[in-house]
Amino acid sequence: MNVLGISCFYHDSCAVLMRDGVVVSAIQEERFNRDKYSPVFPVQAVNACLQEGGITIYDIDEVAFYEKMYLKFERTILGHISGWPFTMRNFVDTMPLWLKDRLAVAFHVEDELVYKKPILHVKHHLSHAASAYLVSPFESAAIITMDGVGEYACGSWGVGRGNDIEIKQEMHYPHSLGLLYSIFTAYLGFRVFAGEGKVMALAEYGEPKFMDEMRKLVDLREDGSFQLEPAYFSFNRGDRMHTDKFEGLFGPAREEHSELTQHHMDVAATLQRMTEEVLLRVARYAHEQTGEKNLCMAGGCFLNVTANGRIRDETPFENIYVQPAAGDAGGALGAAAFVTHSVHGLPRNWVMDRATLGPAHPDYQIEVLLRNKRIKYEKLEEDALIARAADRLADGKIIGWFQGRMEFGPRALGSRSILANPGIADMKERLNAVIKHREAFRPFGASVLADHVSEWFEEDAMSPFMLMVHTIQEDKRSRIPAVAHINNTCRIQTVTPDVDGIYHRLISAFNERTSIPMVLNTSFNDSEPIVNTPQEALDCYKGSGMDCLVMGPYFVERETNDGT
């Protein structure tokens, strides 16, 4: 059975092809149209999935969409009516999007894909739940979802057993942790969707000094549910989602690109603390109610690696699974998995233990590109390629690393990565200023050989998708300054030979040269989406201060290519 999962029309549009319960391909549309967080119908992603599967649209048995749009439209209209006439401007701005796209999913599928069968719609948070549980290694588990908003639900907890998922409790709009985080993101002068990770990083430079003020906004209960006090928020009523009364508690909003002060850092720290409190309470309550030892988590809030780490360390759950595209892109995966397993009853015979589910590019394409662009290169056997790259990393060079299939989700995990030596003190500053062109306070993660984690970090726990923080052991902190955040933690990816192949071999070779069993790993991009094609990788390399580019077996060095 071939099932095509689709998510789109808000952000992180995506397509996933699942065949007999196995994910053949999973790709975000942004990787093709180069529009970060692209919301458009994912035609190019669908075509790439079909190509990877060696099929056409006529071979698709079911198309699954990650939301029930008419139910979401109902909630939207009721919101506009309840706030009228103050919501009129937002109504006028958004109604064309509803009429053209959001209520016309079936027409888009028919027109863009020439698929004429009925489409199955799966509720938003059920898609999130399925995206984690149904591809996890667990036969049963508690499930938590948390994000901005779906149809009505903004968060939920439930339980999965076998092929079945039961949602036990939901939190409904506007009482949303994801929206709260986005409201503060905008208040702190960052862009929603793009800035939440910046706020999380900024929080570690502050102290949660505004918890009393925060508790006026958020009425938090023991089970993790909460109510937002409406007087502080302005949903659907203008350009901003907070009111003057909100600024009365936290001060004037920061203008984008203006100076970041200690006050802003303390506000960010307060938000992060409240986020962690909510998620910890929900997790503990879900454990109490289900008695499960396993936990699956999905939704954009679980891209918060600090909160994930606290759930791992401070709840009774023994095993935690977060799939690599925990946000809305993962909704396409969840819709496909739910239709495959929970609707049609196919057995769960596949576990998502790797994120490399996107396109690959054959060596001849890379070589043709390098020749046509007159780039000097060497084609090396794998042993020689690994040795050369490990030598350069040990010498402090920065490498663009392009290998195999592209990753699914927002994290580069050794296929489309920029790599560097974590033991060089000024490497973080160099990467932020010269390569990534981003704020100096933002930290970098590390890809760590899995069998060395316990030697370097206080938590001996796997994190294959770089969605958890680990605390660096005190005697090791000075040895890896480029990946040590201000609070002595590091977001890590645990790397194994069976899953990560050549990437594991590279880190092992680097470890032999430096006695550091990890490399600094950040996504292969500047401000655009992570590179997909060899041409995009070459363009990013040429426009940056990277020293070397490795694509497949081809090794490029800047000093041998004047003008690049």
Which two tokens mark 133? 């549980």
Quick check: 182 and 198 in contact, CB under 8 A?
Answer: no
Do the domain assignments include residue 158? Answer: no
| Structural domain includes residue 127 | no
Cα(first)–Cα(last) distance of the chain, in Å?
Answer: 48
pLDDT value of position 562: 58
- What per-residue confidence (pLDDT) applies to 91? 83
Considering the domain architecture, whether residues 256 and 189 belong to the same structural domain is answered as: yes
Is residue 134 a part of any domain in this protein? no
Residue 237 inside a domain? The answer is: yes
pLDDT given for residue 89 in this prediction = 81
440: exposed, middle or buried (Cβ count in 10 Å: 0-12, 13-18, 19+): exposed
The residue length of the chain stands at 564
Q: Are residues 314 and 424 in the same domain?
A: no
In one-letter notation, the amino acid at residue 348 is: R
Residue-wise over 388-413: b if at least 16 C-beta within 10 A, else e?
A: bbbebbbeebbbbbbbbbbbbbbbbb
Q: For residues 295 and 320, what is the distance between their CA atoms, to the nearest angstrom? A: 5
Does the pLDDT at position 237 exceed 90? no
pLDDT of residue 80: 81
| CATH number of the domain enclosing 266 | 3.30.420.40
Q: How confident is the model at residue 561 (pLDDT cuts 50, 70, 90)?
A: confident
Give the chain's mean pLDDT: 96
Are 187 and 249 within 8 A, CB to CB?
Answer: no
pLDDT of res. 82: 80
**Residue-level pLDDT at 312:** 97
User: In the structure, what pLDDT confidence band is assigned to residue 84 with cuts at 50, 70 and 90?
Assistant: confident
Q: What is the mean pLDDT of residues 51-76?
A: 96
Close Cβ partners of 511 (under 8 Å, ≥ 6 residues apart)? 449, 452, 517, 518
Q: Check whether 101 has a pLDDT greater than 90.
A: no
pLDDT value, residue 98: 83
Three-state DSSP class for 385?
helix
User: Is a pLDDT exceeding 80 seen at residue 236?
Assistant: no
pLDDT digits (tens, 9 = 90+) for 467-520: 999 999 999 999 999 999 999 999 999 999 999 999 999 999 999 999 999 999
Spatial separation of the C-alpha atoms in residues 127 and 138, rounded to whole Å: 17
pLDDT at position 126 is: 98
Per the structure, how many domains does the chain have?
3
Does 526 share its domain with 386? yes
Residue 486 resides in a domain: yes
**Of 266, 26, 287, nearest in space to 142 by CA:** 287
Max CA separation in the chain (angstroms): 68
Residue 498's contacts (CB-CB under 8 Å, 6 or more residues apart) are: none
pLDDT at 563: 54
Facing residues of 172 across strands?
153
Same domain assignment for residues 59 and 184? no
Closest by CA position to 147, among listed 334, 2, 403: 334
Which amino acid, residue 466?
A: M
pLDDT of amino acid 97: 85
Q: What DSSP line would sit under 57-93, residue for residue?
A: GGG--EEEESS-HHHHHHHHHHHHHHHTTTTHHHHHH
H-state helical runs in 434-501 = 453-456, 497-500
Q: Which domain holds residue 48?
A: 1-66+68-121+328-352
**Same domain (yes/no): 195, 77:** no
The answer to whether residue 211 is domain-embedded is yes
Weakest-pLDDT range from 31-45, 151-165, 429-443:
429-443
Q: What percent of the chain has pLDDT over 90?
A: 91
Q: Do 296 and 348 belong together in one domain?
A: no
- My answer on whether 342 and 409 are in the same domain is no
Mean pLDDT of all residues in 226-235: 93
243-298 pLDDT, tens digit per residue, is 999 999 999 999 998 999 999 999 999 999 999 999 999 999 999 999 999 999 99
Please write the tens of the pLDDT for every residue from 371-424. 999 999 999 999 999 999 999 999 999 999 999 999 999 999 999 999 999 999
What pLDDT, on the 0 to 100 scale, is given for residue 62? Answer: 98
Candidates 302, 262, 266; CA nearest to 147 is 302
pLDDT at residue number 513: 98
> Within 10 Å of residue 512's Cβ, how many Cβ atoms?
12
List the CATH number of the domain containing 499.
3.90.870.20
Answer yes or no: is pLDDT of 564 > 70: no
pLDDT of residue 209: 98
Specify the pLDDT at position 87. 81
What's the CA dihedral at 150, 154, 159, 165 to 10 degrees? -10
Q: Which residues 6+ apart lie within 8 Å of 361 measured at CB?
A: 533, 534, 552
Same domain as 251, residue 390: no
The answer to whether position 536 is within a domain reads yes
> Is 6 within a domain?
yes
Return the SS3 of 560.
helix
If asked whether residues 410 and 530 sit together in one domain, one would say yes
Mean pLDDT value of segment 73-92: 84
CA 254 to chain centre: 26
Instruction: List, in sequence order, every residue forming a beta bridge with 420; answer none if it has no partner.
Output: 520
Token pair, residue 64, equals: 């699954």
User: Residue 330: pLDDT above 80?
Assistant: yes
pLDDT at position 88 is 83
* Same domain? 448 vs 522: yes
Q: Are residues 543 and 423 in the same domain?
A: yes
Same structural domain, 181 and 249? yes
